[in-house]
C-alpha cells in the first residue's frame, strides 16, 4: 500500500514565510528551522527529525545560494529537484517549505557582506574556497532573520560551517538556538551528500576510504599514537585510494586551531579531498 502524504505549503516570498511563522508563534508554538540547498537525502531528514524533537513546527528552506559558490565551482550543475524535495518533505511531515528565488534573497541593490573571523580563518575550507564562508554567512544570517525560528539545526557534516554559524549567531545576537546534528552515512561509511551523485561507479567504490582513514586515525590517536605520524599515514591511505587531498588534519574541535598532542584538546579530524572532478568533505571526533 502506498502512503499518500498531504501536500505541504511551499512558499516563495519572505513576507509569506513571516506571515505563516507569525501565526504559529501567536499560538505559542515553537518553530524549528532546517536550511538546505535541496537535493534532499536522509542526512537532511535526520536534521528535520532533530528539529521536530525540539519544536512544534518545522520549516525547511531550499535555496541554492549563488554567493557561496566560487567562480569555478558547481553552482550551475548543482542538483535542483524541488518537486521531489517537496514530496519528501510532505512524507516527513514538515510544516512548511520555504523556497525563495535568487531575486528574493538578493534583490537589486543588495550590498551587504558578512565576514566571520575565528573558525572561518583556519586554513581549512577557507583556504581552498576563499569566498565560500562569506556567502554562507550572509545567507544564513538572512535566513535566520527571515524564519525567526526558536531553533535551527545544522549538520556536523559541514563541521567548520557549523562552528562559523554558531560564532555568527552569537556575535550578531541572533536569538535562534543553533543545534548541531551528527553526520548520516551510507552503510559503507561514506557521508551522505547531495554531491555523491556526481561520483562514477569506480569513484563511489573508492569513496569510503575517506571515512576508513578518519576512523583508523581517530582510533590510533585515541590510543596515544603521535598525531603527526598518524595523520601522515592517513594521508597516504587516502592518496592510495585515488584521492587528491586538499587537507587532512587534526584540529582543536572547538576553535579549529592546529593541535600537536591529543591532550591539547578535544580533537576533530577533518578532510577534504577530490576524486575525479568531485570534491568530498568529512570529519569525525577523536
Ligand atoms: P546542504 O543542502 O548540503 O547545504 O546541507 C544542508 C544541511 O544538511 C547542512 O546543515 C548540512 O551540514 C546538513 N547535512 C548535509 N549532509 C548531511 C549528512 N550526511 N548528515 C547530516 N547532515 C547533513
**In the structure grid, which three cell numbers stand for residue 40, read together?**
534532499
Residue 2, pLDDT above cutoff 60:
no
Residue 136, pLDDT above cutoff 70:
yes
Crossing angle (nearest 10°) for helices 14-26 and 132-147: 50
In the CATH hierarchy, which top-level class contains the domain 194-285? alpha beta
- How far, in Å, is the centroid of ligand 1 from the Cα of 144? 16
- Average pLDDT on 131-160 reads 98
- Residue 5's pLDDT band, with cuts at 50, 70 and 90, is low
3-class secondary structure for 105-120?
Answer: HCCCCCCCCCCCCHHH
Q: What is the pLDDT of residues 149-166, one digit of tens each?
A: 999 999 999 999 999 999
Mean pLDDT over the full length of the chain = 96
CA 205 to chain centre: 23
Give residue limits of the domains in the chain: 10-181, 194-285
- Residue 4's pLDDT band, with cuts at 50, 70 and 90, is low
What's residue 17's pLDDT? 97
Crossing angle (nearest 10°) for helices 209-222 and 227-240: 160
Q: Which of 201, 276, 215, 200 is nearest to 244 (CA)?
A: 276
What is the CA angle 63-46-194, rounded to 5? 45
- Residue 276's pLDDT band, with cuts at 50, 70 and 90, is very high
What's residue 1's pLDDT? 46
Beta strand segments in 146-277, E? 151-155, 177-181, 244-252, 267-275
- How far, in Å, is the centroid of ligand 1 from the Cα of 159? 10
- Report residues whose beta carbon is within 6 angstroms of any ligand 1 atom: 36-37, 43-44, 46-47, 154-155, 157-158, 181, 183-184, 191-194
Q: Which residue's entry shows cell 561514506?
A: 190
- Average pLDDT on 45-60 reads 98
Q: Which CATH superfamily is domain 10-181 in?
A: HUPs (3.40.50.620)
* β-pair partners for 97: 10, 60
Question: Residue 193 CA: which ligand 1 atom is closest?
Answer: 16
Q: What is the pLDDT of residues 56-88, one digit of tens each?
A: 999 999 999 999 999 999 999 999 999 999 999
Helix (H) or strand (E) holding 52: helix 42-54
Residue 231 to residue 209: CA distance in whole angstroms: 14
Cβ contact 29:59 at 8 Å: no
Longest alpha-carbon distance in the chain: 57
Q: Do 10-181 and 194-285 share a fold?
A: no
Residue 182 to residue 34: CA distance in whole angstroms: 14
Q: What is the pLDDT of residues 199-228, one digit of tens each?
A: 999 999 999 999 999 999 999 999 999 999
Amino acid at each position: 500500500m502506498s502512503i499518500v502524504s498531504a501536500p505541504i505549503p511551499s512558499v516563495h516570498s519572505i513576507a509569506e514565510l513571516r506571515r505563516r511563522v507569525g501565526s504559529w508563534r501567536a499560538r505559542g508554538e515553537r518553530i524549528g528551522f532546517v536550511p538546505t540547498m535541496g537535493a534532499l537525502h536522509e542526512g537532511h531528514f535526520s536534521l528535520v527529525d532533530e528539529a521536530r524533537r525540539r519544536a512544534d513546527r518545522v520549516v525547511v528552506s531550499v535555496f541554492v545560494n549563488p554567493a557561496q559558490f566560487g567562480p569555478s565551482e558547481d553552482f550551475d550543475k548543482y542538483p535542483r529537484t524541488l518537486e521531489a524535495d517537496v514530496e519528501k518533505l510532505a512524507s516527513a511531515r514538515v510544516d512548511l517549505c520555504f523556497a525563495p528565488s535568487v531575486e528574493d534573497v538578493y534583490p537589486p541593490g543588495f550590498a551587504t557582506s558578512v565576514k566571520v573571523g575565528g573558525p572561518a580563518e583556519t586554513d581549512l575550507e577557507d583556504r581552498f574556497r576563499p569566498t565560500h564562508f562569506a556567502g554562507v554567512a550572509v545567507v544564513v544570517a538572512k535566513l535566520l532573520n527571515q524564519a525567526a525560528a526558536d531553533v535551527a539545526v545544522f549538520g556536523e557534516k559541514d563541521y567548520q560551517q557549523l562552528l562559523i554559524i554558531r560564532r555568527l549567531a552569537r556575535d550578531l545576537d541572533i536569538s535562534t538556538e543553533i543545534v548541531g546534528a551528527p553526520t548520516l552515512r551510507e552503510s559503507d561509511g561514506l557521508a551522505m551528500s547531495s554531491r555523491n551523485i556526481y561520483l562514477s561507479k569506480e569513484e563511489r567504490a573508492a569513496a569510503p576510504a575517506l571515512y576508513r582513514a578518519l576512523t583508523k586515525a581517530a582510533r590510533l590517536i585515541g590510543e596515544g599514537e603521535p598525531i603527526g605520524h598518524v595523520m601522515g599515514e592517513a594521508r597516504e591511505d587516502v592518496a592510495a585510494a585515488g584521492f587528491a587531498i586538499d587537507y587532512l588534519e587534526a584540529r582543536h574541535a572547538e576553535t579549529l586551531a592546529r593541535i600537536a598532542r591529543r591532550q591539547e584538546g578535544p580533537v576533530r579530524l577533518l578532510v577534504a579531498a577530490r576524486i575525479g572532478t568531485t570534491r568530498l568533505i568529512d570529519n569525525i571526533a577523536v
